[in-house]
Amino acid sequence: MRVVLSADMEAISGITDVRQILGSCAEYWESGRQHMTDDVVAAAAGLLEGGATEVVVLDNHGAGAPWNIFREQLPEGARGEGWNVFDLPGHEVDAMLQVGYHPRAGVPAFAPHSYIPGLHLFLDGEVIGESHGRIWAAGTRLLGIVGHAAHQRTLGSLAGTPFLVVQDGEDPHHAVSRHGDAEAAGDAIREFARESAEGIADAPRPAVPQAALFEAAIDDLNDEQAANMTAAGWARAGDDRHAIELTHWADAREPLAAAMGAAMAPFLEPWSHLDLSSSEAFVAQDQDRLNDLTAMFVTWIGRMAGDSS
């Protein structure tokens, strides 16, 4: 049984400060990556104990650049891969477990966003987030989700999916851990993953959208980025939205990438100067530049907690 463990970072059990998720911050290098690794290792171990014969870990935080998980700490039977979720149907995947999943844009909670800060996504009128997009792309069973309480409350069409809450709080910049310490959180995640794998026969297989209207709203979209979205198949659908008709969710791959690129545009130039190859390379960089980039992200994330619907 091959299970994909799709890992994000914002709703990892030990993450309590937004700086722990940003590669431009010392907190990310000092504690954020290890916290993410700890939750992923616990989940992978539980999946293997529950019957998975192979666990494939996908680092879905920042597109895995840099790789946020210490792969050498993964248990035997688990490995990291750089697979795109839209390619998972070709990899004979039996199920997916989502770990570290945060609230979508517009939800008053820690680090709310949908793929990229500044991006708001809708499918046939439903406000959607990364849990939706990734399981629809995978086209497989969703064993469960580990993450923030506000994400569980706003799952919409994925409501009822087994969910382990490890994080809470409405402050976009600070979270509250649900468990007393790292050991307790790890035990809870491992047990949840084990039970999820054992219950694979009853796990939901979310319906993949067919013939649906996909819409995107992007904060501060400029003419150049709007042109890039048009080239990817989007059409204007009002002052603040673009839309595209999909025959199948697989058709969303290029339009979604274009929308993410447009939302990320304000950060591309400063981000391109970062060296995230190692902690040593990080500390050798211009700290003023790093601080400026961090301030941009922190401000942007705060905006995402407002109403986007």
**Neighbouring C-beta atoms of residue 211, cutoff 10 Å:** 9
Residues of the chain with pLDDT > 70, as a percent, come to 99
The average confidence (pLDDT) of the chain is 94
Mean pLDDT across 176-186? 95
Average pLDDT over residues 60-72: 90
Fold topology of 2-118+130-202? Rossmann fold (3.40.50)
Q: What is the pLDDT of residue 308?
A: 40
Angle (deg, nearest 10), helices 33-49 and 182-198: 40
For residue 263, the number of C-alpha atoms closer than 13 Å in the C-beta half-sphere is 27
* The pLDDT value given to residue 197: 98
Residue 306 pLDDT class (50, 70, 90 cuts): low
Distance CA 106, CA 39 (A): 26
The pLDDT tens digits of the residues spanning 101-126 come to 999 999 999 999 999 988 999 999 99
Q: Is the pLDDT of residue 309 over 60?
A: no
Sorted by where each begins, the domain ranges of the chain are 2-118+130-202, 210-303
pTM of this prediction?
A: 0.95
Q: What is the pLDDT of residues 198-232, one digit of tens each?
A: 999 999 999 999 999 999 999 888 889 999 999 99
The owner of tokens 């959607």 is 128
Residue 307 has pLDDT above 50, yes or no: no
CA angle 51-87-121, nearest 5°?
A: 105
